[in-house]
Amino acid sequence: MNRNALIIYGGWEGHDPEETSALAARLLTDAGVHVTRSPSLHSFLDAGLMASLDLIVPMYTMSTITPEQEKALLSAIRDGGVNCGGWHGGMADAFRGNPDYQFMVGGQWVAHPGGIIDYRVNITEARHPITAGLRDFDMHSEQYYMHVDPSNTVLATTTFGGEHAYWIDGTVMPVVWTRRFGKGRVFYTSLGHVIGDFDVPEAREILRRGLLWAAGCL
């Protein structure tokens, strides 16, 4: 079955939106998914395009979205059964003033204590196709502290120390999750602050599998 994906990229340049969205496009294209990349949120208003999609990948840190654009995006997922997948702040720190969008994502970034630090990612669900066969691994990047929906299906976590914020010492935070939003399914990983983060094989593989799972290819 042919699959179609739309990758929307832009917003704050610190998350390498062009480079990371190009990587996502390659991962999907290599698996036979037809990919459209666009730097414009107006693409959400193209009814014909939206109706053709199996997957939407938002990579648009911060910024704003119009009510019409948000309605079209969320309706496509919730009511139309288009799936959604993404990473880091490009998906979970987009459109800070839009809680309905955050409801779809299943979480929102609030802090990364210490900035770029060393931390461990723990695989907590070994049976899911996104994480099957992967082992715990280390990252040198932002360790995302998030407000997270308790209805998410969590596949990997990280545990905070108290070096940078003593009051969160021992807090276990989801890193990778899936969820439902109406008829659509959603994948998210907090990994991927910059393109170099995906040089870590496990981080890259989680992204690859997660997008393919969301697209219905796994």
Per-residue pLDDT tens for 49-73? 999 999 999 999 999 999 999 999 9
Residue 122: count other Cβ atoms within 10 Å of its Cβ: 13
For the chain, the average pLDDT equals 98
Amino acid 1: pLDDT: 66
Find the helix or strand (DSSP H, E) in which 16 lies: none
Phi, psi of 144 (to 5 degrees): -75, 125
Residue partners of 46: CB distance under 8 A and separation at least 6: none
Domain layout of the chain by residue ranges: 3-215
Reference 211, options 1, 25, 8, 22; nearest CA is 25
Cβ pair 36, 6 in contact under 8 A: yes
Q: Which two tokens stand for residue 126?
A: 């070994």
Reference 171, options 127, 128, 111; nearest CA is 111
User: How many residues can be counted in the chain?
Assistant: 218
Q: Which residues of 159-184 are buried (b: 16+ CB within 10 A; e: fewer)?
A: ebbeebeeeeeeeebbbbbbbebeeb
Band (123; pLDDT cuts 50, 70, 90): very high
CATH class as words, domain 3-215: alpha beta
Question: What percentage of residues in the chain have a pLDDT greater than 90?
Answer: 99
Encoded amino acid at 76, one letter:
A
